[in-house]
A and B are shown apart, each in its own frame.
Chain A
Amino acid sequence: MSSADRNIEPLIAVEDIHTYYGKSHVLHGVSLKVGKGEVVGLLGRNGVGKSTTLKTIMGLVHPHRGQIRLAGTPITSLPAHKLARLGIGYVPEDRRIFRLLTVMENLRTGLDRSGVTEARKRELLDKVFAYFPVLAERRNQAGGTLSGGEQQMLAIARAMMLEPKIILLDEPTEGLMPRMVWQIRQIIDVLHREGVAILLVEQNVPLTLEASERVYIMEKGAVRHHAAASALKVNDAVIHQYLGV
């Protein structure tokens, strides 16, 4: 355990996970923590295992070894749909919105679950439509007809319907124009203020350092460096060593 996360009370604790795709060993003992309401960045070059780490936490890939805990409870072998119900939201790097479903139907995939009253559903919808007015305007439009930025908003709004304790955000600004990148940055702040923890995978280093409290840097399927974002902002050498920027 490094000094930066020694005092964190973890919401998610990933402990020494080893994940394989077939015979290919992709994650070599990744460990990290995300505290309640904390924004944590996960940086690294392409192909180092950042997205696989998120998929493993989400239960879309199961690790061969290691343990994942949610608020202290082991969740390593649970299927993805149970993890979603336990409060883990996932926004994948290619957004993966349901293209033939309308905006409203996309939102309903997370909203229509047992134990959510009609009044609560209304509140949640009002909230996301207040954050993303364009989704309200396009609520009856098929998801596949939205622009890239709008699809990203829909992917985040859809995850918010699950009332998650943590959202795993995989490259949310990839391929977006600067105005949209700024908007995504605002949304991360809003979620943070609401107490939702975020594990943010990004190629955009300045944005990650701005938005996050702590940052893990991965290389070759393992976490190689871990520090407070504020410390990395003034340490170009580390950024250059691991990310080449």
Chain B
Amino acid sequence: MDAILAFLQAVPYDQILIQTVNGIVTGMILALVASGLTLIFGIMDVVNFAHGELFMLGAYIGVVVLATSGNFWVALILSTLTVALIGAALQVTTLRPLIGRDPLTTILATFGISLVLQNYALWAFGPVARKIQEPFTGYFTLFYLEYPWYRLLIAGLSAAIIGGFWLFLKYGTYGIWIRATTQDRVMAQAMGIPVPWVHTFVFAIGAGMAAASGVLFGPLVGVNHAMGLDWVLKAFIVVVVGGMGNLGGSIAASIFISLLEAYASIWVSPAQAVIVSFVVLILTLLFRPTGLFVPTPK
């Protein structure tokens, strides 16, 4: 009994609360990145290795537009739209011709796009990280911390974007077309749904969501040509843990894994806390390969 009481007294509740907030903020950004990735996989069976570079490209376009316009929100919107258009063009020129071919060809194609975009960014912007200035710099006190309001804004905006997208999928005509195509693309065609354009549209949405997360997260980290790598790796983990192609599962997995990493970093260094994601991934693959957040297959 004494041991339990001693343990409970030793638990750093203030740190747990701080890390809960951190975990949710990071989880929402990750959910925004992973939503695009899982959506593209769910509808097109394409594992998009260039997703991290679309995130990076979004952040760089944000840097350029912010430098020109001086307005963060203009940078966010323009970057999202531009990368969505680039995504649509990439899908039409690179992935559409590969439909029906060996899935390995699409993996190689997206990997190639990722290398091209990364090296283009290195050539155009150089190796020195750029910074996106956050739209406001207010803080509030969370225990002993001055916690930036901007972090909460990121979580709120990410939730709003994902929520808006969910409403679009649920009630919009094109949302129904996307869901129908995800379930049975042959029958969707037979119902008059232009499936090739649905694929392009979804790839554009996924690219736009990656770009939006890049701009939103830009003020917290430096913008550089390799910034997409970490995020896309984590996004792949949550897509597998959440269930490939399962949008709700990916969102739940994003928050779950980010919270676990945040809690782990109370006791170990943040670099070591990343291991938690891989442990969850390995356990999921071993014991529930269809994903943690999908109904048990019957």
A interface residues with partner B (beta carbon < 8 Å): 58-60, 79-81, 84-85, 90, 92, 96-101, 105, 108-110, 112-113, 158, 162
> At the interface with chain A, which of B126-134, B143-151, B191-199?
B191-199
Question: How close is B13's CB to chain A, nearest CB, in angstroms?
Answer: 42
Instruction: Please determine whether B180 and A109 come into contact, CB atoms closer than 8 angstroms.
Output: yes
Which chain B residues border A108 with CB–CB below 8 Å? 173, 176
12 contacts between A and B (CB under 8 A): A79-B189, A79-B196, A80-B186, A80-B190, A81-B194, A97-B187, A98-B184, A98-B187, A98-B188, A100-B179, A105-B180, A108-B173
Instruction: Please determine whether B190 and A84 come into contact, CB atoms closer than 8 angstroms.
Output: yes
Question: How close is A209's CB to chain B, nearest CB, in angstroms?
Answer: 27
Which chain B residues border A92 with CB–CB below 8 Å? 187, 190
Instruction: Please determine whether B190 and A98 come into contact, CB atoms closer than 8 angstroms.
Output: no
Our pick among A81, A90, A99, A158 for the contact of B195 (Cβ within 8 Å) is A81
The chain A residue sitting closest to B173, CB to CB, is A112
The chain A residue sitting closest to B175, CB to CB, is A105
Instruction: Please determine whether B183 and A98 come into contact, CB atoms closer than 8 angstroms.
Output: yes
CA of A64 to CA of B193, assembled, Å: 25
The chain B residue sitting closest to A104, CB to CB, is B176
Our pick among B186, B193, B196 for the contact of A96 (Cβ within 8 Å) is B186
CA of A101 to CA of B182, assembled, Å: 11
Which chain A residues border B184 with CB–CB below 8 Å? 96, 98
CA of A90 to CA of B189, assembled, Å: 10
Which chain A residues border B186 with CB–CB below 8 Å? 60, 80, 96
CA of A109 to CA of B189, assembled, Å: 10
Our pick among A60, A100, A113 for the contact of B190 (Cβ within 8 Å) is A60
Instruction: Please determine whether B183 and A84 come into contact, CB atoms closer than 8 angstroms.
Output: no
User: In the complex where A105-B176, A108-B173 touch, is A58 in contact with B190 (Cβ < 8 A)?
Assistant: yes
Which chain A residues border B193 with CB–CB below 8 Å? 81, 109
Which chain A residues border B173 with CB–CB below 8 Å? 108, 112
CA of A81 to CA of B188, assembled, Å: 8
Instruction: Pick from A81, A110, A162 the residue with the most CB of B within 10 Å.
Output: A81
User: In the complex where A96-B186, A96-B187 touch, is A101 in contact with B192 (Cβ < 8 A)?
Assistant: no
Question: How close is B127's CB to chain A, nearest CB, in angstroms?
Answer: 46
Instruction: Please determine whether A113 and B176 come into contact, CB atoms closer than 8 angstroms.
Output: no
Which chain A residues border B190 with CB–CB below 8 Å? 58, 60, 80-81, 84, 90, 92
Our pick among A60, A85, A105 for the contact of B192 (Cβ within 8 Å) is A85
User: In the complex where A101-B183, A109-B176, A112-B173 touch, is A60 in contact with B191 (Cβ < 8 A)?
Assistant: no
Question: How close is B178's CB to chain A, nearest CB, in angstroms?
Answer: 11
